[in-house]
Amino acid sequence: MDTGYHLMELPTKVLIGEGVISKLGDFIKDSAGDKKVVIASGSNTTTRVRKAVDSAIGAEPVWVEVAAADTDNVERVIRSASGSGCIIGVGGGKSVDVGKLAAFRMHLPFYSVPTSASHDGISSPFASLKGLDRPYSVMAKPPVGILADIEVIASAPKRLLASGCGDLVSKLTAVKDWQLAHRVNGEYYGSYSASLALMSANLVLERSRMLGKFGKESVRELVEALISTGVAAGIAGSSRPCSGSEHLFSHYLDLLAPDSGLHGEKCGIGTIMMAKLHGVDWRKVRSALKNVGAPVEASQIGVDDSKVVQSLVKASSIRPDRYTILSRKKLDKKSATALAKSTGVI
């Protein structure tokens, strides 16, 4: 039985509301001081918000365009950040993850300014990038601060917002896997952080029709829930409350079909199948995802049946140390095919 200790690291402050991007200068002032500010951002995001960000910060920040979520882009941000006071990730998942890992390696404060709500990386202490020595998220540090402008995020493509719902609902099976590992292997289990993650998953399950409208009220709920799941990971000291068998499936699918589907989309599809393996209501998961406009079939993200089956069979090899329902079930090609077909994924 694990009775050890772990370190909790959480965001220091969160500013959320309509029009708050105009307050970014004051928000980062304690860290930035008179030093330069480096911003990691994608090209589309830069076009959308650069004027507002430049105006809010006052002094001209250094913008580094993030073309991909990989180690090359992390290195580019690091080279630009010499002598800076902080790094800000402005944009979606790739910009936040690249900025987060660059700041971690530079021992600089990191601020998360999401312009969409596609997954919980906006607040978590983890970064998921290509080119690392492992195909899953690595531990960094949570943002010092998160500034979420609901007006900006609500104007993001609805597909990105639906992907955020997919990442939220995945906490249902992640927590089930964590409980299973606790029972079987005596792994540490934190009921509070698990409950926090489940609360976010249940938001999607219980309020999917309202969320799927993606008006400002529902977008705010979505953003707050994604921030909460990142905090849950910080409290747990691991990704356990947020990432389980459904994420292993998603990560293996990344290897087989790297350009197919968003992270939250693949996690949502994985959750449908893992829910059935756990004996919970997978139909409710599938229905909620449909209600928010998230994909529920592999063909909707351009993934063929064979890749789904292979990912189910091989997913647990991504992290042999992480015990999940896939470790217990040990699916073969036949049982994986039956699972995917029975849930309508293929």
Residue 247 and residue 140: Cα distance in Å, rounded? 18
The answer on pLDDT for 3 being more than 60 is no
Average pLDDT over every residue of 162-179: 97
What is the pTM assigned to this prediction? 0.94
The answer on pLDDT for 73 being more than 90 is yes
Average pLDDT over every residue of 92-119: 93
CATH topology (fold) of 13-156: Rossmann fold (3.40.50)
Give the model's pLDDT for residue 128: 81
241 within 8 A of 196, measured Cβ to Cβ: yes
Hey, what are 167's tokens? 């990442």
176 within 8 A of 327, measured Cβ to Cβ: no
| CATH superfamily assigned to domain 159-342 | Dehydroquinate synthase-like - alpha domain (1.20.1090.10)
193 pLDDT band, cuts 50/70/90, is very high
86 within 8 A of 113, measured Cβ to Cβ: no
The answer on pLDDT for 131 being more than 80 is no
Residue 297 and residue 304: Cα distance in Å, rounded? 10
Average pLDDT over every residue of 212-233: 95
Say what percent of the chain tops pLDDT 70. Answer: 97
Give the model's pLDDT for residue 130: 74
Give the model's pLDDT for residue 58: 85
Give the model's pLDDT for residue 242: 96
Give the model's pLDDT for residue 32: 85
Give the model's pLDDT for residue 341: 98
Average pLDDT of every residue of the chain: 93
Average pLDDT over every residue of 260-286: 97
44 pLDDT band, cuts 50/70/90, is confident
- DSSP, collapsed to helix, strand or coil, labels residue 11 as coil
pLDDT tens by residue, 299-314: 999 999 999 999 999 9
pLDDT tens by residue, 152-170: 999 999 999 999 999 999 9
Residue 121 and residue 118: Cα distance in Å, rounded? 9
User: What does the domain layout of the chain look like in residue ranges?
Assistant: 13-156, 159-342
- CA dihedral sign of residues 243, 247, 248, 254: negative
Hey, what are 271's tokens? 């959750």
